[in-house]
Amino acid sequence: MGTEISGGRGQLNLYELPEGCIANVLSLTSPRDACRLSLVASTFRSAAESDAVWGRFLPSDYHDILGRAVDSSQPLVFTSKKDLYFRLCDHPLIIDKGTKSFSLEKWSGKKCYMLAAKDLAIVWGDTPMYWRWTSQRESRFKEVAELINVCWLEICGKIATCLLSPDTTYAAYLVFKSLTGAYGFEYQPVEVSVRIKGGEGETQNVFLDPDGGQMHRYQIIPRRIGLFNRGFNMLRQQVTVPRDISNGQYPKQRGDGWMEIELGEYFNKGGDGEDGELEMSLMEVKGGGWKSGLVVEGIEIRPKEGK
């Protein structure tokens, strides 16, 4: 970056610009760019810390979102708008009576939500012999749904598109764990989809394999019988073959200890007349086998990486 601008009356040193002017310029960039430009000079660093900059990076309805926090009687304490911004990036805010969490994507400021298991429509979810509501220390929510035993698995979630950031491609993810002894998901795929309510959407197959992308296969190998015997018998040996998890068909480990599988994606155009309801679903009803050992935290909706 140059430090001087030529003009009809000479040259203007960028470092001599008023801090407010620099802050206004930085607010038109992105959180990532503002952090990078803060390293240019002390005047840029001071401007990059200002509320004028980070107030532009916060969503326009952030006051309303903060008011929907679970414990609104004790407001979130922050020293500046930059402090608030990074708190919302690193510590999801529980809102709407504990049924959702809200956070920001760190380098873009785009909105992210997670729908708690209690906010999802889970078939047989209120029947104790099929599902159990319990707590997990690692979960951001008070309760999670533990699958006891079902042959019909169906989970659906909905969110208004007006809550999402405009001009953004979002992806939805089922966030879950597999308990020791889980079964029924090793080889049977589940159908997932993301679509606008009343519209058409693409359905795809994914796996909720507890092995996280490992496939067991039996290999037949010959074995010689005896030291001087020329005969052979056949030995079945189990080998583990890595699956290709890059295609999104298998779960991935998250940094918070949970696993996730992508359900699909959606481009939120936003603007007037674009509001609708985004529906996300996961279903396995064709295999007929019993399934157990799945713990569902919720469905997360966040900007798609690289888009």
Q: DSSP letters along 156-186, please?
A: EEEEEGGGSPSSEEEEEEEEEEEEEEEES-S
Does residue 4 fall inside a structural domain? no
Phi, psi of 252 (to 5 degrees): -125, 150
Based on the domain organization, do 124 and 269 belong to the same domain?
yes
Does residue 124 fall inside a structural domain? yes
Based on the domain organization, do 79 and 142 belong to the same domain?
no
Based on the domain organization, do 208 and 118 belong to the same domain?
yes
Does residue 94 fall inside a structural domain? no
pLDDT in the model for residue 200: 81
Based on the domain organization, do 83 and 118 belong to the same domain?
no
Based on the domain organization, do 164 and 293 belong to the same domain?
yes
Based on the domain organization, do 114 and 83 belong to the same domain?
no
Based on the domain organization, do 115 and 168 belong to the same domain?
yes
Those residues whose C-beta lies under 8 Å from the C-beta of residue 54, and which sit 6 or more positions away, are 31, 34, 80, 81, 82, 84, 85
Does residue 12 fall inside a structural domain? no
Does residue 1 fall inside a structural domain? no
Does residue 175 fall inside a structural domain? yes
In contact, 291 and 186? CB cutoff 8 Å: no
Of 36, 55, 87, the residue that ends a domain is 87
Based on the domain organization, do 42 and 160 belong to the same domain?
no
pLDDT in tens, the chain (307 residues): 444 444 445 555 666 677 778 888 888 888 988 988 888 778 788 888 899 999 999 999 999 999 999 976 566 788 999 999 999 999 999 999 999 999 999 999 999 999 999 999 999 999 999 999 999 999 999 999 999 999 999 999 999 999 999 999 999 999 999 999 999 998 889 999 999 998 888 899 999 985 754 554 444 455 555 544 555 454 555 445 455 545 558 999 999 999 999 999 999 998 655 679 999 999 998 877 899 999 999 999 999 986 6
Place of tokens 């189990």: 238
Q: Report d(CA 154, CA 123) in Å as an integer.
A: 6
Based on the domain organization, do 166 and 52 belong to the same domain?
no
Does residue 269 fall inside a structural domain? yes
Total domains present in the chain:
2
pLDDT in the model for residue 7: 45
Enclosing domain of residue 218: 110-303
pLDDT in the model for residue 8: 46
Of 31, 56, 87, the residue that ends a domain is 87
In contact, 201 and 156? CB cutoff 8 Å: no
Based on the domain organization, do 83 and 171 belong to the same domain?
no
Does residue 183 fall inside a structural domain? yes
Based on the domain organization, do 49 and 121 belong to the same domain?
no
Based on the domain organization, do 155 and 263 belong to the same domain?
yes
pLDDT in the model for residue 19: 76
For residue 135, give the CATH number of its domain. 2.60.120.260
DSSP-based three-state secondary structure for 87:
helix
In contact, 280 and 156? CB cutoff 8 Å: yes
Of 55, 87, 119, the residue that ends a domain is 87
